[in-house]
Amino acid sequence: MNRHADTVRAILAAGNVVLGPMAGITEAPFRAICKRMGASLTYTEMISTKGLHYNPDSRITKKLLTLSPLETPCAIQIFGNEPRVMADQAAGLVERHGDDVALIDINMGCPVTKVTSKGEGSALMRTPDLAAQIVSQMVDACSIPVTVKIRSGWNADEINAVDFARAMEVAGAAAIAVHGRTRAQFYRGKADWDVIAAVKAAVSVPVIGSGDVFSASDAVAMLERTGVDAVMIARGAQGNPWIFRQARALIDRGEEIAPPTSAERIAMVREHAAALIEFGGERAFIRMRKHVAWYMTGMPGATHLRVRANKTSSYAELDELLAEYDSYQEQRLERQSKKSDSDVG
């Protein structure tokens, strides 16, 4: 019996929609927003255990390990391929952050070449014995749950998620998150939810499903089709943290919530940008521009607005642009109102 599986199961039972980790995107300010919107659990961006070991005081590492008080306890995700180093660093993280950390997650699903070329990330799915050693040693070193995030396999000829998940459970993993694509797919094509369902049927620890969840109805569909304990939303939250509120409403109450208005989107852009600059200084603003583009998707005049937003270099410039957009929206609605009145007359 896994001593920590019930701990994870309780976390997921309190809310079965979680925010997945995304490098360069799920920084602390965005995670806090998603938590407020209904994500029951958030994950940090993946953190290199080698970086923690050799350069623990680097500015980048400190930012990656900055947790928002609005999201704690959260999951810290790490990656590497050296069992002893990973176990030592995981234990150190638990000791330093205490009750702010719900679990330590091992990334065994990242498809990026600079990660897999070192035998890390999804490359570990090709070395299950090493992966099991990593899990086992981390479990022995940590006082909190250790979980694993995997893919369906390395490529179409190496779909081994079920056997791999079983091995991770035997090694002591308290939960398994499964992205339904192979490493070869990266984020192309469709996620295979049948593989996720097969993993759920094969292990007794909680399973979290990931891949192609871009709406509340997608979240419901994954839960129903795969039987997973929770759904992980990643790219579906880009520019749309409201997806957690919508998913929770549909899952918990069968209630459909309307999408955010343009005004709500603009207000969130301002909030997110201000929080990100407070978190990382003015130079963090450049990273905000991709978020701005995502928030504006589907808004009237979005194409022109995104082009201009991508040229801004400060919060002041962005705020001025948003003020212009607010004025444009007011004029647009006024024209529509006059046209409606004219049509009625």
Q: What is the pLDDT along the chain (345 residues), one digit of tens a residue?
A: 688 999 999 999 989 999 999 999 999 999 999 999 999 999 999 999 999 998 888 888 889 999 999 999 999 999 999 999 999 999 999 999 999 999 999 999 999 999 999 999 999 999 999 999 999 999 999 999 999 999 999 999 999 999 999 999 999 999 999 999 999 999 999 999 999 999 999 999 999 999 999 999 999 999 999 999 999 999 999 999 999 999 999 999 999 999 999 889 999 999 999 999 999 888 888 899 999 999 999 888 888 888 998 999 899 999 999 999 888 877 877 777 666 656 655
Residues 6 or more apart whose Cβ sits within 8 Å of residue 159: 152, 153, 182, 195
Q: What is the pLDDT of residue 343?
A: 62
Catalytically active residues, by annotation: 110
3-state secondary structure of 181: strand
Q: What is the pLDDT of residue 341?
A: 54
The interaxial angle of helices 193-202 and 161-171, nearest 10 deg, is: 40
Helix runs in the chain, H state only: 5-13, 28-37, 49-54, 59-64, 83-97, 113-116, 128-141, 161-171, 193-202, 216-226, 242-253, 262-280, 285-295, 302-309, 315-344
Q: Please, is 209 exposed, middle or buried when counting C-beta atoms within 10 Å of its C-beta (0-12, 13-18, 19+)?
A: buried
Kindly list the strands in the beta sheet with 207-210, ordered across the sheet, starting from the edge strand earlier in the chain: 17-19, 230-233, 207-210, 176-182, 146-153, 101-108, 74-79, 47-48
Tell me how crowded residue 250 is: count the other CB atoms within 10 A of its CB.
18
The domain ranges of the chain are: 5-253, 262-340
Match 């398994």 to its residue by tokens.
176
The superfamily CATH assigns to domain 5-253 is Aldolase class I (3.20.20.70)
**210: which 2 tokens?**
């990931």
Q: What is the pLDDT of residue 205?
A: 98
Residues 6 or more apart whose Cβ sits within 8 Å of residue 102: 11, 41, 73, 74, 75, 144, 145
User: Where on the phi/psi map is residue 151: left (φ > 0), alpha (ψ -120 to 50), or beta?
Assistant: beta
Residue 283 one-letter amino acid: R
Upper half-sphere CA count for residue 221 (Cβ side, 13 Å)? 11
Q: What is the pLDDT of residue 9?
A: 96
Give the Å distances, CA to CA, from 52 to 55, 64, 149, 254, 255: 6, 11, 20, 44, 44
**96: which 2 tokens?**
């330093």
Q: What is the pLDDT of residue 299?
A: 86
